[in-house]
Chain A
Amino acid sequence: MLDAMLSALSDLLTLQHLLYMLVGVTLGLSVGVFPGLGGIAGLSLLLPFIYGMDPTSALAMLIGLVAVIPTSDTFASVLMGIPGSSASQATVLDGFPLSRQGHAARALSAAFVSSLFGGLVGAIVLTGFVLIARPLILLFTSAELFMLSVFGLSMVGVLAGRSLAKGLGACGLGLVIGSIGGAPATGEFRMIFNTDYLYDGIPLVIVGLGLFAVPEIVDLLRRDQSISSEGGLGAGWFTGLRDWWKNWWLSLRCAGLGTIIGAIPGLGGSVVDWLAYGHAMQSERNTENFGKGDIRGVIAPESANNAKEGGGLLPTLMFGIPGSGSMAVFLGGMVLIGIEPGPSMVTTNLDVTYTIIWSLALANVLGAGLCIILAQPIARLTTIPFPQLAPFMIAVISFAAFQATRSLADLVALLVIGVIGVFMRRFGWPRPALLIGFVLAAQSETYLYQAVQFYGWEFILRPGCLILLAFILLSVWFGMRNRVDDTAGDELRADIDDLPSEGRAGLRVRMPQILFALFAGACFAAAFVDSLQHSFLGRVFPLVMASAGFLSVALLTWQLVTKGNRHNVSQDTEVLGEYASDSEAGSLWSGMFWIASLVALSALLGFFAAMVVFFVLFLTIRARTRPLRTILLTAGAAAFVLLLSDALNLRFPEGLLQTYVSLPWPFG
């Protein structure tokens, strides 16, 4: 074993291999900065060059890229409130408020050190465990995987915000949206409403962008400020390092958690950041600031999401089972250089395995180092007046959204989820709870069904399940004690007591909230009715979830109707909160109008032409930029998008125009 480790290390530490790794790292950083692109896009860029390369260089390059994606995607999460990838959604919760308070550089450097540390922990665990991991991984059967999904769902308690009914309602919405498409047990298509797009379900990236990025863009567009309300960058990156050092124990725990979750095939990496965030909430003291800009809310998910990549390599290498989309591409890359994963990775190919592990550690150091250097200059983005930044952000999230299935329907889905996200923000519904429900819907349903098939309902008595059940109960108990409140703008308006709160007049004040609760109730009713037309196995999960969600929302509606404006279920930023007495703020609808206009233009002209028209219109009308600058900015954005899509072999979604006229690329 030592031989293999040393020979792998000396093989790797040659100039040629380090150079290839640097290529991978640099590409990973450049791709990772753009939200939604992530590892899959980056690896697909590399694959054409892989065939025929020497294996060590190719592996160094591939791993260099995989390792730095969860580091660099932090930029978008922290600076713009756009989840850079599914692995850093939780980072948005505290990272973005920190940016708005002018602490962007601090948040970034704390995030990067955490990433670096998490990546190294992942590599160390991998080194030790690779030889004995096989039987350990096999301990996690469908029964334990189901319990782990429930453990993930138990985080909803801590993330529910001020009203548990809203939290459960939001989680229920996520579970229902997550069960759109083929039922795992029977393949019946649920809630597809004769739409081809819904057969596969709604892609995670779209739910993440719609819930988090769209509401923030809409919110920022109401004022003509920069993202950083202070206008400056505030305390520098050194403070961030100190923040991490003060919380190294939290960082270590989350890194361990990330490695374990990553190593268990079937759970997937997209919940790991939420588990870490929830864990921080449950175990730390003084949590009242979580969700409003607590640096620990950045350290926890960032430590976990890099460690996850190390853990995720275990099932990929030893069983040939990719734990995530990027691991699937990595697996394809390995096959192209002639390495087939399997048990041989810990016997005859052990040196290859160690090459991969060492590459992972080295790439994390390189990547985090580069990011820390870049943090200060890139954080300046937050000082640009937002109207000038907005068209880029809208274009970027649209571009990211249609990576999912490369069709116009992706943009429509983004808009619909975005509108839901905007209203959830307005009425104080916890968006993380919806996301957790969405991510875990398919897993909890599939594993429950499989566990019952294989073991009967007695599966719950398996030792592993009982241990996990104890964890779940602990998690719920701690969750009830330390609930995080991420609800934006929860300060109530000063003259709130002058508003009618009782009777009919009070009802009228709270009517918008009540209507949204009724909308959620209608969604549950629709899911309920749809489920009735399916077989028992296809029906039971959405039926139960929709019923539970319906009950939560019914309770919520009753509270909204009978309790006063100051009750903790009542929240409405437009009527009762921050925007009620703010005459300078623009309308809630203006930002949504602009996003909708890009989608509508795309439907007419195809995405590329639509984007150009949108830029000119937005910059001229909304940002009031001078014509020359408008042209330059538009041309810059167009050139960039063309470059990116050319590199990715990407066709843009077509519009109505293209069905009548055949146009050359990029218009057709």
Chain B
Amino acid sequence: MTVSRFTRRAAMALGVAGAALTAALPASAQDVTFEGETIEFMIPFSAGGGSDTWARFLAPFLQKHLPGNPSVQVVNEPGGGSTKGANLFAARARPDGLTILGTSGSTQFPYLLGDPRVRYEYADWNVVMATPTGGVVYTTPDTGVESADQIDKLAGQDLVYASQGATSLDLVPLLGFRLMGLDVRHVFGFQGRGDGRLAFERGEVNIDYQTSSGYLQNVQPLVDEGSAVPLFSWGALDDEGNIVRDPTFPDLPSYVEAYEAINGEAPSGAEFEAYKAFFVAGFPAQKMVFLPEGTDQAIIDAYKQAFVDIQDDPEFQEQKGPAIGDYQLATGDSAQNLYEQGTRVSDEVRRSVVDLLTSEYDVTLD
């Protein structure tokens, strides 16, 4: 698909004469319209999960703010831990702005780890929006920890964590706890963070984390009744790429502060680089929206503008709580920034993480 074919199509849709003339001119965002079109918002997960809900919540706002108010439909293409849908998008989506892809950390991780099922290349795609999320790590008072500043008491204790798998999003806590020097045993095979929280409530595990909304809704009551103690948030990323406190939990230390409390110095070195790469892909850049390779700049700009407008829409700000959390959508340069940090990892870092997973957790990736 070329630029000229797109504009011709748009022009015909508008019934404007002189299509040939328009086609010859360079297109700009103002010329783009999706009137009468249907946009497929591809989600590589089945209906009902977090990514699906995120997309379905965004769809009516996209419809409202994209030029020409096209109909936006969420299309679920689940399978292969989201690699199938992303492969499909890479192989089939035409660069006409009518098919967009929503990815999640579960799509980023297999790509970063070099999973053999991955046949998509993030570098080819054009990011138009990123939705950050966060999470809070908490423990039980049985560990003797009564508040976040006593986290150093955890050192040397036997900790157990309910994990969804070493290559899932739970790779972030796996690398993070390890780097901190906490002695955590990961028990795998859990079906989601909710499942892990249940194991915490049953007393089977003594350290857990929940994403922001899950924490506020389900763990805060436990904290209030004294059966859980929050330790730290994974944190957010500032414009310079530093891990800072999560704006949703300004009173909780970030991962970096918690690390300092245990180890007496800020984290650094190759292992921290590895942790950070997966942290960014899993939290600040967890969910992203992409246009396919070769999409005309005017279409990309139209999408970017639409997400800026969504961000400014008071209705969106008022309603976003349950589906998005208290985070701002990252648009424009900050989306680009998160995308670059969340989808690029050096071969060295990749190798070190894969070696760790293979030697300690029997994970085979090729």
Contacts and interface: CB of A to CB of B under 8 A. Distances in A.
B43 to A, nearest CB: 10
A47 interface: yes
Given A322-B48, A328-B48, A405-B79, A335 B202 contact: no
Interface string A328-358: 1111100110111111100000000000000
Interface in A44-75: 44, 47-48, 51-52
A329 B76 CA distance: 12
Contacts of B15: none
Contacts of A188: 362-364
B217 A321 contact: no
Interface in A514-569: 534-535, 537-538
Given A320-B194, A342-B217, A649-B75, A51 B46 contact: no
Interface stretch (A85-93, A446-454, A592-600, A624-632): A446-454
Interface in A440-485: 446, 449-450, 453-454
Interface stretch (B54-62, B130-138, B147-155): B54-62
B57 A51 contact: yes
B218 A343 contact: yes
Interface stretch (A8-16, A125-133, A179-187, A373-381): A179-187
Contacts of A142: 199, 204
A570 to B, nearest CB: 41
B123 interface: no
Contacts of B221: 342-344
Interface string B336-363: 0000000000000000000000000111
A332 B256 CA distance: 33
A582 interface: no
Contacts of A185: 188-189
Nearest to A405: B79
A331 B218 CA distance: 14
Given A406-B77, A450-B189, A196 B53 contact: no
Contacts, number: 143
B47 A186 contact: no
Contact of A141 (B60, B197, B202, B321): B202
In this complex, the member of B60, B80, B364 whose beta carbon has the largest number of chain A beta carbons within 10 angstroms is B364
A148 to B, nearest CB: 15
Contact of A186 (B40, B195, B197, B362): B362
B194 A321 contact: yes
A141 to B, nearest CB: 5
A48 B189 contact: no
A186 B76 contact: no
B77 A187 contact: no
Contacts of B363: 186-188
B194 A319 contact: yes
B49 interface: yes
A266 interface: yes
A43 B80 CA distance: 23
Nearest to B40: A649
B52 interface: yes
Contacts of B191: 266
Contacts of A182: 165
A288 interface: no
B217 A320 contact: yes
A319 B201 CA distance: 10
B237 interface: no
A454 B161 CA distance: 10
Contacts of B160: 453-454
Contacts of B24: none
Given A48-B73, A48-B74, A188-B362, A40 B213 contact: no
Interface of A: 40, 43-44, 47-48, 51-52, 138, 141-142, 182, 184-189, 196, 199-200, 265-266, 319-322, 325, 328-332, 335-336, 338-344, 405-407, 446, 449-450, 453-454, 534-535, 537-538, 649, 651
26 contacts: A40-B48, A43-B47, A47-B74, A48-B59, A51-B56, A184-B188, A187-B166, A188-B363, A196-B80, A196-B84, A199-B80, A199-B117, A265-B195, A319-B197, A320-B218, A321-B195, A328-B49, A335-B323, A338-B319, A342-B217, A342-B218, A344-B217, A405-B79, A407-B84, A453-B187, A454-B160
Given A138-B201, A186-B363, A199-B117, 4 more contacts: A48-B59, A186-B361, A188-B363, A649-B40
